[in-house]
Amino acid sequence: MTFKRARNDEQRSERRRQILDTAAAMLTEMPVAKLSLNELSRRAGLAKPNVLRYFESREAILLDLLDSEVNDWIAELESSCPPGQGTSRQRGDQLAEVLAGTMAKRPVLCDLLSAQAAVLEHNISTELAIRHKHAARRSIDALVQLVKKHVPELGTDGAAALTETTLLMATTAWPCSRPSEAVQAAYASDPMLAGMRMDFVDLVRRTAAVTASGLLARQPAASTSPIA
């Protein structure tokens, strides 16, 4: 394939989208750790130096993709997750179930989140780190507002605490819930070990629900009454 340099902003945006779409497709087949820049370049039909015209590193591509995945997840929550019914604790439980369930259906998002701090935020420039962290801040703010819509009794600080705890548990639970073939074989061979296997949805749901109920218990009693 003959490389043609993008000549305007529209062409450059299209080339970046081509690279991101290729990376997203690859992550449906392999974990973040196995996605190489060489293979990404080959699949995108571009030479590696040409890919690096648009992104400074493999990690930069994946961070951009992470921001996109998070935004898509938030848009889904905002459009298809109406506030629940019942007491504040019941609504907190319902929200916890929705958060865990929708994340589990987005394995690319979960894989990228689990690699964010240890892998993706390395081998990047300060400029990119600033841009990424601002995007992450906007996403967290949007999630906090969503939590407040479902459980307003939590207030801003409580909603922020629930958001941060849920995301932290998701980043930890995802790799733990996907053991290696050797560990899967160990679980299958011994019933005593099988109970150690972790379920992503259950871990995230339970953590979010317990966090919400704990935060609500610390609120003034008048703030935990059901919504009329």
**What CATH number is given to the structural domain containing 46?**
1.10.10.60
- Of the ranges 78-82, 156-160, 203-207, which one carries the lowest mean pLDDT score? 78-82
| pLDDT of 228 above 80 | no
Over residues 218-222, mean pLDDT: 69
pLDDT (tens digit per residue) in 152-195: 999 999 999 999 999 999 999 999 999 999 999 999 999 899 88
Please enumerate in sequence order all residues whose Cβ is within 8 A of that of 100, keeping only pairs 6 or more positions apart, or say none: 200, 201, 202, 203, 204, 205, 208
| pLDDT of 5 above 70 | no
Is the same domain home to 16 and 116?
no
**What's the confidence (pLDDT) of residue 177?**
94
| pLDDT of 109 above 70 | yes
The model's pTM is 0.87
**What's the confidence (pLDDT) of residue 223?**
46
Please enumerate in sequence order all residues whose Cβ is within 8 A of that of 182, keeping only pairs 6 or more positions apart, or say none: none
Domain that holds residue 126: 58-219
Please enumerate in sequence order all residues whose Cβ is within 8 A of that of 191, keeping only pairs 6 or more positions apart, or say none: none
**What's the confidence (pLDDT) of residue 6?**
55
Closest C-alpha among 62, 166, 57 to residue 115: 62
Whether residue 1 is contained in a domain is answered as: no
Is the same domain home to 49 and 158?
no
Is the same domain home to 50 and 159?
no
Is the same domain home to 83 and 51?
no
